[in-house]
Chains A and B, each alone.
Chain A
Amino acid sequence: SQTIHQWPATLVQPVGSPLSLECTVEGTSNPNLYWYRQAAGRGLQLLFYSVGIGQISSEVPQNLSASRPQDRQFILSSKKLLLSDSGFYLCAWSSGFGYTFGSGTRLTVV
């Protein structure tokens, strides 16, 4: 069966520090992968999606970036965090038969 792992679950980082969130998928190959952010009181916002290794599409211009170094690995990064980067980050994958989400990372930038 397919599973999606996302870590860490919670993270508190100072402004200006770097960020690396990792997401891995098991039990499938060549999935479409997605990063979403859910800010307090707002809906889910698509940040990045990837249809293959090294292929990244950005939906929202910001100081975040994404990479896909392996088929089932998707990484969200930042060189310098801003207060506005706080939120709940969710990784997801799709196979054409619906979308499956990870358990999320709660990021608080202080």
Chain B
Amino acid sequence: KQEVTQIPAALSVPEGENLVLNCSFTDSAIYNLQWFRQDPGKGLTSLLLIQSSQREQTSGRLNASLDKSSGRSTLYIAASQPGDSATYLCALTNQAGTALIFGKGTTLSVSS
């Protein structure tokens, strides 16, 4: 059974710092891995999607990498801002059309 773990559970950093959020999974046979952002009381906003054949994706200050052999993905946030404060969720599918399996998230707080 696929399990997704996110470490750390919570992270506090000062504005401007670069940071890395970690996601690990137990079964390397994944189809897609997706990073989401969730603001308190809100739905999920997709940040980056990495397909199994890809190793990384970038969008603005965000970069996500995928290493299937080691069962790991990282989300790198450059020059963090207070507006980046949110919970970041890692989720993956094992095959096309199946539901996402989520980690429990990392709650990020960026102080000004």
Contact = CB atoms under 8 A, between A and B. Distances in A.
Tell whether A pairs with B: yes
Interface residues of B, number: 21
Contacts of A43: 102-105
A106 B36 CA distance: 19
A103 interface: yes
Contacts of A100: 46
Interface of A: 6, 32, 34, 42-44, 46, 49, 51, 59, 88, 90, 92, 94, 96-104, 106
A46 B42 CA distance: 17
Nearest to A34: B99
The A contact surface, by secondary structure, is strand
Nearest to B6: A43
A88 B44 CA distance: 12
Contacts of B105: 43
B34 A49 contact: no
A104 B97 contact: no
A100 to B, nearest CB: 7
Contact of B42 (A92, A96, A103): A103
Contact of B97 (A6, A42, A90, A96): A96
